[in-house]
Amino acid sequence: MLYEEARKAVCDTARRMMRDGLVKLTSGNVSARVPGTNFFAITPSGMDYEVMVPQDICILDLTGRVINGHRRPSTETPMHRLAYDRRPDVNGVVHTHSIYASAFACTGQAMPVISTELAALVGGTIRCAPYARSGTDEFAEAAVQTLGSEDLAVLFQNHGVMAVGRSLKEAYSVAIGLEEAAMIFHLARQMGDPIIIPEEERHRMFQEFRRSYGQPRAGIEREPRGWGDVTVLRGRMDRGD
């Protein structure tokens, strides 16, 4: 099977997304850039995650053309394609309909950062893209334009959430962290006015998390690319994930 590792990573992440309650039925979609190519792997349209296997994952180029695969790709392919085209740093995309974050998106408001966990994952406020019909080029443009050049997550008004990352693993962590933060925000508002972490402190936590979180390993640097974490020799002590 061509592109086996990328396909397996996307399939495994999609099935995990269902198990973790970020989606129900066949909603949501997952993709990963295929390292060393101009291709990306993406989940098929409308397929039950419980029966999905790596062979079902579609391989596309950055024009949206199917390169390899026997399934019809996700209807949200334009959004994934545009994210990879506009953001060379992005190697994984996870689109969920998680309950609390989606509820927040239905208000059309940006989500402020009130927890240290979310600050470490994304740094800044999660902006909300204006409404557009799902699956269209207009939806893709609104999503990626709102995401901007540095953000790792964006809400879709009346729809859901997109998380991106330097690896598919990182994108998934952002998706999980965002849903947890939305739940915390909802509960905190029942008790009073949530306290927003100052911008300077959010930025400090985000940079520190990226620089020092995890276990160092002698002689290697872990560079998150494509579907997972690629280990590259650097001849110095650096961090793991």
The active-site residue out of 4, 5, 50, 76 is: 76
Q: Name the packing angle between helices 77-86 and 137-147 (round to 10°).
A: 40
Identify the DSSP state of 120.
Answer: H
Structure tokens at 73: 């790709």
Residue found by looking up tokens 């999660």 in the block: 126
SS3 call for 115: coil
The size of the chain, in residues, is 241
Q: Is 221 a catalytic residue?
A: no
Structure tokens at 216: 């160092």
CA distance 214 to 143: 31
As to burial, measured by CB atoms within 10 angstroms (0-12 exposed, 13-18 middle, 19+ buried), residue 25 is exposed
SS3 call for 68: strand
Q: What stretch of H or E contains 203?
A: helix 199-212
Q: What stretch of H or E contains 93?
A: strand 92-96
Q: Which residues are catalytic?
A: 76
